[in-house]
Amino acid sequence: MKPRIYYTKPSITEKEVAYATDAVANGWGERCYEYIDRFEAAFKAHLGVEHAIATSSCTGALHLGLAALGVGPGDEVIMADTNWIATAAPVVHLGARPVFVDILPHSWCIDPERAEAAITPRTKAIIAVHLYGNLCEMHELREIGRRHGLPLVEDAAEAIGSMYRGLAAGSMGAFGCFSLHGSKTLTTGEGGMFVTDDYQLYETVLTLSNHGRSRSQTKQFWPEMVGFKYKMSNVQAAIGCAQMERIDELVRRKREILAHYRERLGSLPGVTLNPEPAGTVNGAWMPTVVFAPETGVTREALLEAFARENIDARVFFYPLSSLPMFDDLPENRVAWDLPGRAVNLPSYHDMTGDDLEAVVAVVRTAVGVRAEEREGLR
């Protein structure tokens, strides 16, 4: 059998191993926060933001930020219907209601017009998710937030390395959050990061992240509010420090892989990949291929074709409103239509040229076979 081509795995070198080993052996006592502090400093410097807090997950970072904004029972939070459940879950946990709106067909990110139309007196925030490294229409969304007095939150879980008009994804909203899961471009195994330029919001989140204990409180074990336990460990942060020292290399390799797919697949009729409009840089976390309806290529057929070649492929996110815990919203037509004719392609850093061409061959064959079948029916 051919060696497995995975859709994702982390890039780990001797540097990450050395830093993690040092944290395990020596990162205690006075050094128990050393790598955490270093990691947060490196992360905020890279993004160009004032404050960063390492967390146990991106979901935790989003939960903390929304709680600090005062999201609670009876509130509504607007987001794209095409997302992973992790964007909606903190809203539900806080007793609020996620409001799902349709996506743009070219970026697969939230449609600003639909977002504005969904605003009600109960709306507390809008979440902009930069799906697969693609960028939301941040200028329009920020203007909507300004007009209605609503905070715009950036879920940049998948968008490290993405840039919008010279600004890093995650740095443009009331706060941003990132995933450091093992599948991401930058990883600590599990983990996340909360970032903001708002000092008061930063202080509130910092307190909430440590059981409600303020760093200015002189009493030991004296929480001032009921908080959460969303801190990152020093060992995880050590891995993150090593990854941050390689961040340009990590993002560059992701972009090289997407560029290869674009070159080899972008000219196929009815095939589109992650966009990169003028004035943006796509961090290319997850190269994704979308097939036009007329190609006849479906998600199921393509997944079967990849499986025959021992290649992983990942399904495009199902609309959140199609999940059993939410009400169906088939009127979000783009969000409901795209998943059936789209897949995420393998893109881990160590993929060889042969690996990439094996993936390309499956897609080209799928499109070619369907084209031949249509021609034969004429």
CATH (domain of 357): 3.90.1150.10
Query: Is the same domain home to 39 and 183?
Result: yes
Q: Of 214, 245, 276, which marks where a domain is finished?
A: 245
CA-based torsion, 194, 200, 206, 207: positive or negative:
negative
Query: Is the same domain home to 241 and 268?
Result: no
In a domain, 8, yes or no: no
In a domain, 5, yes or no: no
In a domain, 23, yes or no: yes
Are the CB atoms for 282 and 276 separated by under 8 Å? yes
In tens digits, what is the pLDDT along the chain, a chain of 378 residues? 788 999 999 999 999 999 999 999 999 999 999 999 999 999 999 999 999 999 999 999 999 999 999 999 999 999 999 999 999 999 999 999 999 999 999 999 999 999 999 999 999 999 999 999 999 999 999 999 999 999 999 999 999 999 999 999 999 999 999 999 999 999 999 999 999 999 999 999 999 999 999 998 889 999 999 999 999 999 999 999 999 999 999 999 999 999 999 999 999 999 999 999 999 999 999 999 999 999 999 999 999 999 999 999 999 999 999 999 999 999 999 999 999 999 999 999 999 999 999 999 999 999 985 544 445 434
Q: Of 220, 245, 270, which marks where a domain is finished?
A: 245
Query: Is the same domain home to 371 and 259?
Result: yes
Number of other CB atoms surrounding residue 311 within 10 Å: 21
For the chain, the domain total comes to: 2
Structure tokens at 302: 């393509």
User: What's the distance, CA 378 to chain centroid?
Assistant: 43
Q: Of 187, 213, 245, which marks where a domain is finished?
A: 245
Query: Is the same domain home to 190 and 227?
Result: yes
Query: Is the same domain home to 219 and 89?
Result: yes
Query: Is the same domain home to 365 and 272?
Result: yes
Query: Is the same domain home to 169 and 292?
Result: no
Query: Is the same domain home to 36 and 75?
Result: yes
Query: Is the same domain home to 123 and 261?
Result: no
Structure tokens at 127: 């979440």
In a domain, 6, yes or no: no
- What residues make up the domain containing 316? 247-376
Phi, psi of 311 (to 5 degrees): -120, 135
In a domain, 4, yes or no: no
Which domain CATH number covers 89?
3.40.640.10
In a domain, 233, yes or no: yes
Query: Is the same domain home to 240 and 261?
Result: no
